[in-house]
Amino acid sequence: MTFLPSHDRQTLPGIKRTPVCNMASQSTGIQQLLKAEKQAAEKVAEARKRKARRLKQAKEEAQAEIETYRSQREAQYKKYEQSVLGSRGDTETKIEQNTRKKIREIEDNVNKNKEYALKKLLDFVYDIQPELHQNLRLDAK
């Protein structure tokens, strides 16, 4: 054990002699603890970063799987829809053709019966037969 240098060996009243090596070893121990704590904090921070990266990567992979599955199911649905219902364009074309056909038939009927309907209407308007209303009372005084 090393004590204070020889010229300081005289003890002053009220001052106790302390070995220098004891203070140095305490300081070294504290430094080692601080260093170990810093290293542990760095390892924890690195582990958290790795965990965050793994979670992000897992999320991206899951999203890619979901998109793949969704596109497969959409393709299956479209195939099924086309096999059962046929294409929408064909259905729209058929409906449009039927509508045009019905409009033409109605126009033909109007043109065919226009003269007859107009004649009947005019005959009804021109053929006026005046008569007294049933609620009218004529007093014979």
Give the contacts of 9 (CB within 8 A, at least 6 positions apart).
3
Question: Cα separation of 3 and 22, whole Å?
Answer: 10
Digitized pLDDT (tens) for each residue of the chain, 141 residues in all = 445 455 544 554 555 555 555 667 788 889 999 999 999 999 999 999 999 999 999 999 999 999 999 999 999 998 888 877 766 667 788 899 999 999 999 999 999 999 999 999 999 999 988 888 888 877 765
Q: What is the pLDDT of residue 129?
A: 85
Q: What is the pLDDT of residue 101?
A: 97
Give the contacts of 1 (CB within 8 A, at least 6 positions apart).
19, 21, 22
* Global pTM value: 0.39
Q: What is the pLDDT of residue 15?
A: 52
Report the Cα–Cα distance between both ends of the chain, in Å, rounded. 159
Q: What is the pLDDT of residue 1?
A: 47
Q: What is the pLDDT of residue 91?
A: 78
Q: Is 98 exposed, middle or buried (0-12, 13-18, 19+ CB in 10 A)?
A: exposed
